[in-house]
Structures are given as C-alpha cells and as structure tokens.
C-alpha cells in the first residue's frame, strides 16, 4: 500500500518570539505551584524567552476567566495559559464553580480570538490532583503550555495561509471561492 502524506495544517511547538500570560490560582497552591513550574518549564523548553512569560496570580479558579479575559483583550499575548485546581468538597461549591470556570475560559478564547489553554484540574480528591501535578498522570501544566504554543502557531498558520491566498487573488472578494 502506498503511503500518502495527509495534507493538514498544524501548529508547531516553537515558542520562540511568542508572548504568554499564565493565570494561576492561589487556592490549592500545593498543586497549582507544581502546575506552574511545569508550564514554565514547557514554555522555556519550547524556546520562549523568560521576559515574554508573564505570571498573573488570582485568588481561586473562579477568578481565572475574568483575569484571562482582561489579559487577552490587551492583544499583547499570543496565548493565555489557565492553571488552577478544583477539588470536590463536602458542599455544592465544586459543582457550582466548575462549569462556570470552564465556560468562562472557553468564552474568553472564542470571543477574543486569543488561544487559551485549559490547565484547570477538576478532581474528586487530593490524590487525583497530585497524580496530575507531576505524578502518575504527568503534569497538566506542561501539557497546557504545549497546547498554548501549538494553538498560537496554528492561528498564525491559518491566518498566514488565507492572507496569502487572498493577497494573490485577483477576483473581487465576493466572487472568491470559500
């Protein structure tokens, strides 16, 4: 069988020259500081410069979406990395907050057009959180950092490709094939 190369657009994992904001919640800092260390590591190892990584701390996960939105709206960042840790407790707090945080981060990404990586752990207990902050399940901070780099580059690749096509095209905009 002949192998065909699939023609896909993808973002690469080079963070050189890119600017990132990392929003990190202080609540459950035992976990979130480990997510932050790993996200920082992931960005540096992808080629980001320290001066281009801005860390923004917020009280808890609930505050992440509004801070992310404020940062995204400055248009100074190629991507925003959101880090937090929600652990289910005895009250309904977790259920009330978890969807709000997820929706808020997604909405900020969609409405500003700036990629946001979701590195907010949503766990039943502390053990699950520890496993995802450097133990059995890797470190979700690192994964979020790489997702942010990839999506920032994907955006560049897509926008670059279409501006190239539109730039070369002689047809008036309304007659261009979509």
**Footprint of ligand DLZ on 2-61 (CB under 6 A):** 25, 27-28, 59-61
Three-class secondary structure assignment of the chain: CCCCCCCCCCCCCCCCCCCEEEEEECCCHHHHHHHHHHHHHHHHHCCCCHHHEEEEEECCHHHHHHHHHHHHHCCCCCEEEEEEEEECCCCCHHHHHHHHHHHHHHHHHHHHCCCEEEEEEEECCHHHHHHCEEECCEEHHHHHHHHHHHHHHHHHHHHHHHHHHHHHCCCCHHHCCC
Residue 54 appears among annotated catalytic residues: no
Given the rule CB under 6 A, which of 69-77, 83-91, 102-110, 143-151 is the region that contacts ligand DLZ?
83-91
What is the smallest separation between the CB atom of 28 and ligand DLZ, expressed in angstroms?
5
Residue number of the CB closest to ligand DLZ reads: 60
What is the smallest separation between the CB atom of 146 and ligand DLZ, expressed in angstroms?
22
The catalytically annotated residue of 59, 74, 93, 103 is 93
* 119 belongs to the binding site for ligand DLZ (CB under 6 A): no
Residues making contact with ligand DLZ (CB under 6 A): 25, 27-28, 59-63, 84-87, 89, 93, 97
The residues assigned a catalytic role are 93
């Amino acid at each position: 069988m002949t192998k065909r190369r699939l023609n896909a657009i993808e973002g690469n994992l080079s963070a050189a020259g890119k600017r990132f904001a990392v929003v990190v919640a202080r609540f459950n800092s035992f976990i979130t500081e480990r997510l932050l260390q790993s996200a920082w590591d992931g960005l540096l190892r992808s080629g980001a410069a320290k001066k281009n990584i801005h860390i923004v701390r917020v009280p808890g996960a609930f505050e992440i979406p509004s801070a992310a939105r404020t940062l995204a709206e400055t248009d100074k960042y190629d991507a925003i990395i959101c880090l937090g840790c929600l652990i289910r407790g005895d009250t309904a707090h977790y259920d009330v907050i978890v969807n709000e945080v997820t929706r808020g981060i997604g909405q900020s990404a969609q409405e500003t057009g700036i990629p946001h990586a979701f590195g907010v752990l949503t766990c039943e207990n502390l053990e699950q959180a520890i496993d995802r902050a450097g133990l059995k399940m890797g470190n979700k901070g690192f994964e979020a950092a790489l997702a942010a780099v990839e999506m920032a580059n994907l955006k560049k690749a897509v926008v670059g490709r279409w501006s190239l096509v539109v730039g070369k095209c002689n047809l008036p905009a309304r007659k261009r094939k979509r």
